[in-house]
Amino acid sequence: MKILIACGGTGGHINPALAIAGIIEKHCPDAEFLFVGTPDGMESTLIPQAGYPMEHVKVAGLQRSLSPSNFVRNVKAAGYLMTAGSHAKAIIKKFQPDLAIGTGGYAAGPVIRAAQQLGIPTAIHEQNAYPGVTNKLLAKRAKAIMMTFEAAKKYFPEGAPTHVTGLPVRGNLTKCTKEQAKAKLGFPEGMTILSFGGSQGASCLNEIMPEIMDWHLHSDMAVNHIHAYGKFGRDSFPQALKERGIDGSERMRVTEYIHDMDVCLAAADLVISRAGASTLSELEAVGRASVLIPYPTAAENHQYHNAMVLGKAGAAIVIEQKNLTADRLKEVIADLCAHPEKRIAMGQRAGALFAQDTDERIWEILSGILS
């Protein structure tokens, strides 16, 4: 059995692709895989690191804002688009897959479309509550559309083969108890907050977290805080803490990137983050209350739609970035610190949204196409 998987751009597209490959391998150890992505994206590093072979197709997104630099980038993107289809077809003809799966990213569009044109059965996974344009176009000829959220279904063509599968998450997320995690982190008793904005960091969070942490340490609240500032906060965030004289507290763990997210999520009583699909699925998997600040310029504003799934379920408090202030965040934190029953109830509602049998659902769909 040969499986081609097209993905790329961000971890939100790459991690589900790797998880789906793992699901297939579990049932078919002899399956042969080929990943296709862009040569400059995160996938060009993460996929080979995971042990899978990879081919590249040059594709780039069009920039919506007008500027001289974006004009040049758009000219290049248009040029790539003209050759991507034929290049993708050459890769597919050489590999001859039994199934092609797309999980999003720039490469997924031309590759999955080429597979459909060559008569290869295709399936797509849509991580977000509001599907991107590419997946909506590919859905017309896909054998199966796997979705993280039920809310995405209404955006696909009527009668399309949609299935709510959930989003595969890391298997080690639920292996550590809250008590064990806090002990590993060396935190004293108290409420634990985890905040992050992804591998790049979120400037809106990095700008206000030093004030929030200062407030924690000089209030009568017993609060531990883990914050990941990302590569764009590498120079500014540690310096901001140092200027306030609050670096080095036993109640704070500050790092550029969180490598032990399973432990940090297990320890957390409250998570403050963006609203990428992978993050939300992990919040559901561990059943944690959250404050979500959707990335406002995400394609199709999909992070807002993602966040509102949890918000409407009472599992999260959603604050749009334009409304985010340190005072607003302090108000929310103080309330949830004073009323632990509220955050416990939010966590339970998040857990109720999680599809426990995601891997089985995905395999049932894919094996049905392959049979």
Same domain, 152 and 256: no
Name the residue range of residue 258's domain: 178-353
Residue 326 in tokens: 């340190």
Residue 77: the pLDDT is: 43
In a domain, 228, yes or no: yes
User: Same structural domain for residues 52 and 73?
Assistant: yes
Question: Does a structural domain hold residue 173?
Answer: no
In a domain, 296, yes or no: yes
- Per residue in 55-97, pLDDT (tens digit) is 999 765 544 555 555 444 444 444 445 568 889 999 999 999 9
Give the SS3 label for residue 125. Answer: strand
Residue tagged 């409250």 (tokens): 270
Same domain, yes or no, for 348 and 361? Answer: no
- Give 324-369 pLDDT, tens digit per residue: 999 999 999 999 999 999 999 999 999 999 988 999 999 999 999 9
Per-residue pLDDT tens digits for 219-271: 888 999 999 998 889 889 999 999 999 888 899 999 998 889 999 999 999 99
User: By the 8 A CB rule, do 246 and 170 touch?
Assistant: no
Produce one character per residue of 86-111: b if its CB has 16 or more CB atoms within 10 Å, e if not.
ebbbebbeebebebbbbbbbbbbbbb
As separate numbers, helices (DSSP H) first and strands (DSSP E) second, the chain gives: 14, 13
Determine whether 302 is exposed, middle or buried from the number of CB atoms within 10 Å of its CB (0-12, 13-18, 19+): buried
Is residue 208 domain-shared with residue 137, that is, in the same domain?
A: no
Distance CA 168, CA 278 (A): 8
Residues 258 and 323 in one domain: yes
103 in the same domain as 9: yes
Instruction: Supply angle C-alpha 248, 254, 257, rounded to 5.
Output: 150
Question: pLDDT category, 15, cuts 50, 70, 90?
Answer: confident
Q: pLDDT band for 171, please (50, 70, 90 cuts).
A: low
> Is residue 192 pLDDT above 60, yes or no?
yes
Backbone angles phi, psi at 37, to 5 degrees: -150, -165
Residue 317, SS3 per DSSP: strand
Q: Which residues contact 338 (CB under 8 A, 6 or more apart)?
A: none
For residue 283, pLDDT beyond 90 = yes
Q: Is-contact 370 128, C-beta < 8 A? A: no
User: Is pLDDT above 70 for 370?
Assistant: yes
Same domain, 183 and 150: no
> Residue 201: what pLDDT?
60
Q: In this predicted structure, what is the pLDDT of residue 79?
A: 44
236 assigned to some structural domain:
yes
Instruction: Say what the pLDDT of residue 61 is.
Output: 53
Does residue 263 belong to any structural domain of this protein? yes
Whether residue 105 is found in the same domain as residue 38? yes
Helix (H) or strand (E) holding 69: helix 68-95
Structure tokens at 297: 């310029």
Report helix, strand or coil for 151.
Answer: helix
Is 172 part of any domain?
no
For every residue of 86-100, DSSP letters joined together read HHHHHHHHHH--SEE
Question: What is the distance between the alpha carbons of residues 32 and 183, in angstroms, rounded to a whole number?
Answer: 42
pLDDT of residue 76: 46
Give me the pLDDT at residue 65, please: 54
Q: Judge residue 351's burial from the number of C-beta atoms within 10 Å of its C-beta, 0-12 exposed, 13-18 middle, 19 or more buried.
A: middle
Share of the chain above pLDDT 90, in %: 71
Asked if 82 and 202 sit in the same domain, the reply is no
Same domain for 24 and 121? yes
* Same domain? 347 vs 363: no
Residues 6+ apart with CB under 8 A from 312: none
- The pLDDT of residue 241: 94
If one counts the domains in the chain, the total is: 2
Q: Indicate if the pLDDT at residue 144 is higher than 70.
A: yes
**Percent of the chain at pLDDT exceeding 70:** 91
Taking alpha carbons only, the member of 218, 222, 215 closest to residue 189 is 222
Q: Are residues 149 and 80 in the same domain?
A: yes
Adjacent-strand bridge partners of 36: 6, 55
**CB-count burial class (<10 Å; 0-12, 13-18, 19+) for 29:** exposed
User: Residue 28 sits in a domain of what CATH number?
Assistant: 3.40.50.2000
Question: Is residue 219, in this structure, part of any structural domain at all?
Answer: yes
Instruction: Give me the mean pLDDT over the 134-160 stretch.
Output: 93
Please enumerate in sequence order all residues whose Cβ is within 8 A of that of 4, keeping only pairs 6 or more positions apart, or say none.
33, 34, 35, 36, 91, 92, 95, 97, 99, 100, 101, 111, 115, 120
Q: Is residue 332 part of a domain?
A: yes
Q: Which residues contact 138 (CB under 8 A, 6 or more apart)?
A: 102, 108, 109, 112, 113, 116, 122, 124
